[in-house]
């Protein structure tokens, strides 16, 4: 197999189509990218900005230009020897009137040919929902919506339908009998009689309309997280798998795509089976690829959040994950663990919050279960209850007790999910459950202890296959599947989208796939992770920015500097808190912003402060303030302390925004700008370091759109803003060496030049990166701890990589990230024997013990190649 050398992720929508991508292929080819990596391109809901709400699996989205545009894009890619990897969404679909499968289910209920496509619980505990589908789409209570005339019988395209606001829902065939030409008048909700008749008609449907806020308590279809408009698929059914992947398989068989990225694999009932089935089908399809298509098997990666001690299962037969774990590791190795104590103390002293991140995560899980996942909790509990009832030995166990025990297991679950099946748990999953049970034992009622162990056994501790075929075995297998599908959305919403917005010790460590409790890792641990990845999943993606990141890669790189200058940061924040006390307002009985929200705001302001933004630039400050205000409002709602999406506390939010804008319109802007400048140069050094490590460590680098310049983006939609490809193309044409581009480092060209040089090297020597060994290299001397270095080697070709870290003591307050030669005095690196050529600059040198300054020059990063 020939894996991709390097991917460039593009976000497609009506404002950036497949034809628009045609125009940037040449740019990415010159940069050294081997494959474009596209967001989902199948037909999504109208106006979708991300494509994850697919409504038709059989069509390339016409808003993106349709299949003709896709073929034009692929033709251009093939002309440059490039390929295309496609993001696919096997877990769910967007539902509503644009989804014909969903509409058929609404019309025919359980008898619809598509009823088995969606993960619907037709045996809901609520008798009003049994055999019906809950539609939580009303903007108010059902009675009020009916009385206000938002529900009406209407004729549309010769067919009677139920008009709900501006949409039209189908009516069941059996309910249409007796509707005559005057039916609309007879069902007019303006009169008591008409309203009663309309209600009676609605009650005869296969769906039940409800206020959208009732979804978390009552919804009887599996959702993507807590999003009502995204319904889970039963992809484990072969017919559903084949139908939903029909177009993907055709595109692959025709040589239009070269691989896939599988979104949210943990949402599937059986990820292992799915991945192996996908690999098998793609292997069978690509028997005679078009001559212009790249050779080799399909490239398959999965979006998967791994815990610190968790590895992707190799028997899934994928090429790896989308790289969140690398994002964590490369960030952590650039943080300084000496800053942990003062930063933790600052957080606790200012906020009065003594809980660590793990405690915050447990609290968030408990709240999320109540706020967003009551229906999922009920569904899982009833699956376990069915398993109990199926066995005469446990028939007296109550549903209420199971629900209590289950809730505590979910609250204390330490990973996103486990993968037990008929064969039960493997060793890793067994250890996960042991930790979950230990946590639950601390909080459950004493009389539920025995049941806790019993439930843990049902959930894979006892292999269902050891039971004889029959109802007990089937019930256990179903309970395991339902439980495992419930743990990942609870974890994601609680950890990423709640605790991550509540715990603000250092926001550079609050990121997707990152444990915010861990501030830093050692160089030895980073090296160990690289060696493991090279040995097991050498084609795993390496990401440092994605469409889902909370803060841009260079925001995180700059904020990492706070771990090095923690003492100064503490004093600065305390000064700002006192200085800006008069700007806080009382809103809804509390001061706004709270101490926690204020501390996190300061971090975002200095971390994302645009290079070159001056305190006197009113227009620039306004643009920056608007971006930060949008982030702030989203962050406050995600934290769910004083406000939330389902019930916004606008007075508090508005007061927080007033505080922000007052900061940036007064003298405070100068101090913020000064501190941002103080950490800018070491932050840029960190940014270059993580760029070089992503491009040279074992794995396949993923370049998110636009991040070849400095990436000071915020959470979406800010990180999906239009990219100025014209500017990037123009700077690329100049082909400056990174050492030269360092002189104007604020424009981002030095980062682009570094990427160009390293991607060009990957193109010239693909086997060195795809198969080369990885050996840590240790520096000696006074600044040895500031150097992370390693050697990649394959068949006589060698690459030496070295990056500087923890450079604040040299660069804080400096005008440039160029490291003064005196900083390296007395520090050496043992270059292996041979003749070495500088990749990022000019010149050559022999191997042997070499002064660090001779390796780095002025740059904070270095790459030297030998034998190539």
615 is a domain residue: yes
Examine the domain organization and report whether 61 and 110 are in the same domain. no
Residue 183 lies in a domain: yes
Q: Which helix (H) or strand (E) holds 159?
A: strand 159-164
Can you give the pLDDT at residue 293?
61
Task: List strand residue ranges (DSSP E) for 489-611, in order.
Answer: 541-542, 585-587, 590-592
Q: What is the pLDDT of residue 294?
A: 58
- Say if CB 502 and CB 764 are below 8 A apart: no
Question: Pick from 826, 827, 844: which is nearest to 835 by CA?
Answer: 844
Tell me, yes or no, whether 74 lies in a domain: yes
Whole-prediction pTM value? 0.96
Q: Which of 260, 286, 303 is the last residue of a domain?
A: 303
pLDDT tens column, 767-807? 999 999 999 999 999 999 999 999 999 999 999 999 999 99
On whether both 244 and 218 belong to a single domain, the answer is no
Same domain, 209 and 125: yes
Cα–Cα–Cα angle for 100, 226, 162, rounded to 5 degrees: 40
Task: List all residues 6 or more positions away from 60 whose beta carbon is below 8 Å from its beta carbon.
Answer: 41, 42, 43, 66, 67, 69, 70, 247
Has residue 793 been placed in a domain?
Answer: no
Percent of the chain with pLDDT strictly greater than 70: 99
Is 365 within the bounds of a domain? yes
The verdict on residue 329 lying in a domain is no
Residue 124 has a pLDDT of 79
360 and 499 both lie in a single domain: yes
**What's the domain count of the chain?**
4
Q: SS3 for 517-530, per residue?
A: CCCCCCHHHHHHHH
CA atoms within 13 A on the CB side of 416: 26
CATH (domain of 195) = 3.30.1590.10
Residue 420 domain-assigned?
A: yes
**Domain limit, last residue, from 622, 649, 677:** 677
Label residue 856 left, alpha or beta by phi (over 0 means left) and psi (-120 to 50 means alpha).
alpha
Shared domain for 80 and 174, answered yes or no, is: no
One domain for residues 239 and 285: yes
Q: Mark whether 79 and 213 lie in a shared domain.
A: no
CB 820 within 8 A of CB 859: no
Best CA proximity match to 393, nearest among 459, 451, 444, 440: 451
CATH of the domain at 575: 1.10.10
pLDDT in tens, 706-762: 999 999 999 999 999 999 999 999 999 999 999 999 999 999 999 999 999 999 999
Q: Which of 625, 655, 677 is the last residue of a domain?
A: 677
Helix extents (H) in 270-339: 271-285, 324-332
Residue 1 confidence (pLDDT): 43
Shared-domain flag, residues 615 and 669: yes
pLDDT at 485 over 80: yes
- The CATH number of the domain holding residue 242 is 3.20.20.80
The pLDDT of 264-273, averaged and rounded, is 97
Convert the pLDDT of each residue in 124-143 to its tens digit: 778 889 999 999 999 999 99
528 located within any domain: no
The residue segments making up the domain with residue 30 are 8-91+235-303
Does position 525 have pLDDT exceeding 90, yes or no?
yes
Shared-domain flag, residues 244 and 293: yes
User: Is the domain of 666 the same as that of 625?
Assistant: yes
Q: Are residues 372 and 440 both part of a single domain? A: yes
Read off the pLDDT band of 623 (50, 70, 90). Answer: very high
Distance CA 553, CA 572 (A): 24
Does 865 score more than 50 pLDDT? yes
Q: Report the pLDDT value the prediction gives residue 667, as an integer from 0 to 100.
A: 85
DSSP 513: T
Question: 286: closest CA among 276, 273, 299?
Answer: 299
Query: How far is it, in rounded angstroms, from Cα 202 to Cα 145?
Result: 13
Q: Exposed, middle or buried: residue 313 (CB in 10 Å: 0-12, 13-18, 19+)?
A: middle
Q: How confident is the model at residue 625 (pLDDT cuts 50, 70, 90)?
A: very high
Task: Please provide the DSSP assignment of 88-108 as one string.
Answer: E--SEEE-STT-HHHHHHHHH
pLDDT of residue 289: 62
The pLDDT of residue 297: 87
Same domain, 213 and 245: no
């Amino acid at each position: 197999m020939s894996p991709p050398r390097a991917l460039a992720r593009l976000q497609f929508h009506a404002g950036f189509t497949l034809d628009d991508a045609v125009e940037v292929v040449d740019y990415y080819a010159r940069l050294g990218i081997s494959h474009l990596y596209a967001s989902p391109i199948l037909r999504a809901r109208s106006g979708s900005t991300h494509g994850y709400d697919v409504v038709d699996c059989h069509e390339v989205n016409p808003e993106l230009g349709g299949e003709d545009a896709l073929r034009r894009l692929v033709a251009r890619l093939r002309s440059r020897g490039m390929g295309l990897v496609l993001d696919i969404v096997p877990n769910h679909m967007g539902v509503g009137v644009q989804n014909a499968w969903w509409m058929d289910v609404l019309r025919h209920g359980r008898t619809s040919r598509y009823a088995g496509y969606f993960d619907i619980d037709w045996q809901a505990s609520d008798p009003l929902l049994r055999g019906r589908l809950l539609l939580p789409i009303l903007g108010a209570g059902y009675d009020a919506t009916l009385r206000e005339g938002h529900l009406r019988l209407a004729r549309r395209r010769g067919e009677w339908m139920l008009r709900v606001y501006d949409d039209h829902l189908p009516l069941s065939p059996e309910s249409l009998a007796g509707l005559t030409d005057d039916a609309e008048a007879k069902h007019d909700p303006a009169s008591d009689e008409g309203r009663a008749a309309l209600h009676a008609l609605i009650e005869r449907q296969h769906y039940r309309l409800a206020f959208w806020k009732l979804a978390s308590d009552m919804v009887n279809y599996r959702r993507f997280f807590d999003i009502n408009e995204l319904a889970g698929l039963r992809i484990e059914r072969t017919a559903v798998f084949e139908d939903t992947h029909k177009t993907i398989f055709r595109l692959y068989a025709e040589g239009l795509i070269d691989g896939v990225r599988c979104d949210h694999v943990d949402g599937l009932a059986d990820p292992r089976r799915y991945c192996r089935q996908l690999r098998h089908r793609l292997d069978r399809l690509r028997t005679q690829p078009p001559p212009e298509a790249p050779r080799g098997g399909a490239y398959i990666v999965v979006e998967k959040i791994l815990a610190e001690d968790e590895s992707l299962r190799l028997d899934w037969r994928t090429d790896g994950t989308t790289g969140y774990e690398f994002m964590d590791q490369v960030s952590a190795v650039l943080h300084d663990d000496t800053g942990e104590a003062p930063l933790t103390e600052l957080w606790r002293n200012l906020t009065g919050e003594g809980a660590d991140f793990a405690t915050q995560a447990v609290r968030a899980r408990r709240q999320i279960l109540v706020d967003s996942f009551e229906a999922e909790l009920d569904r899982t509990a009833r699956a376990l209850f069915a398993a109990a009832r199926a066995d005469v030995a446990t028939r007296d166990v109550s549903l209420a007790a199971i629900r209590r025990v289950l809730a505590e297991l979910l609250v204390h679950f330490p990973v996103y999910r486990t993968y037990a099946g008929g064969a039960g748990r493997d060793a890793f999953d067994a250890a996960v459950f042991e930790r979950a049970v230990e946590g639950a034992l601390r909080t459950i009622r004493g009389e539920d202890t025995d049941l806790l162990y019993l439930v843990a056994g049902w959930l894979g501790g006892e292999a269902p296959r050891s039971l004889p075929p029959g109802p007990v075995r089937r019930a256990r297998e179903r309970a395991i599947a339902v439980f495992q599908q419930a743990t990942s959305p609870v974890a994601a919403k609680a950890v990423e989208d709640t605790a991550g917005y509540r715990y603000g010790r250092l926001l550079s460590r609050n990121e997707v796939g990152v444990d915010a409790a861990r501030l830093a890792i050692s160089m030895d641990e980073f090296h160990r992770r690289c060696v493991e990845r090279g040995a097991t999943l050498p084609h795993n993606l390496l990401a440092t920015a994605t469409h889902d990141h909370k803060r841009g890669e260079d925001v995180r790189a700059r904020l990492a500097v706070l771990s090095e200058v923690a003492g100064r940061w503490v004093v600065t924040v305390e000064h700002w808190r006192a200085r800006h006390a008069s700007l806080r307002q009382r809103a809804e009985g509390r001061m706004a912003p709270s101490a926690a929200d204020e501390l996190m705001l300061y971090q975002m302001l200095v971390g994302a402060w645009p290079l070159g933004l001056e305190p006197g630039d009113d227009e620039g400050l306004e643009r920056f303030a608007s971006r930060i205000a949008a982030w702030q409002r989203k962050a406050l709602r995600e934290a769910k302390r004083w406000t939330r999406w389902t019930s916004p506390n606008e007075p508090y939010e508005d007061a927080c925004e007033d505080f922000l804008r007052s900061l940036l319109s007064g003298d405070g802007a100068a101090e913020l700008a000064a501190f941002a400048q103080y950490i800018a140069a070491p932050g840029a050094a960190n940014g270059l370091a993580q760029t070089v490590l992503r491009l040279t460590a074992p794995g396949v680098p993923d370049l998110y759109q636009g991040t070849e310049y400095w990436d000071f983006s915020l959470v979406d939609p800010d990180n999906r803003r239009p990219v100025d490809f014209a500017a990037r193309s123009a700077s690329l044409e100049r082909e400056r060496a990174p050492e030269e581009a360092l002189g104007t480092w604020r424009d981002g060209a030095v980062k682009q030049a570094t990427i160009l040089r390293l991607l060009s090297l990957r193109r010239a020597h693909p086997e060195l990166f795809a198969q080369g060994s990885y050996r840590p290299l240790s520096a000696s001397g006074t600044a040895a701890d500031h150097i992370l270095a390693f050697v990649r080697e394959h068949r006589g070709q060698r690459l030496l990589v070295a990056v500087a870290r923890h450079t604040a003591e040299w660069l804080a307050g400096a005008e440039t990230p160029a490291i003064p030669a005196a900083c390296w005095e007395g520090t050496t690196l043992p270059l292996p024997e041979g003749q070495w050529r500088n990749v990022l600059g000019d010149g050559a040198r022999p191997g042997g013990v070499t002064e660090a300054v001779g390796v780095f020059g002025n740059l904070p990063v270095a790459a030297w190649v030998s034998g190539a």
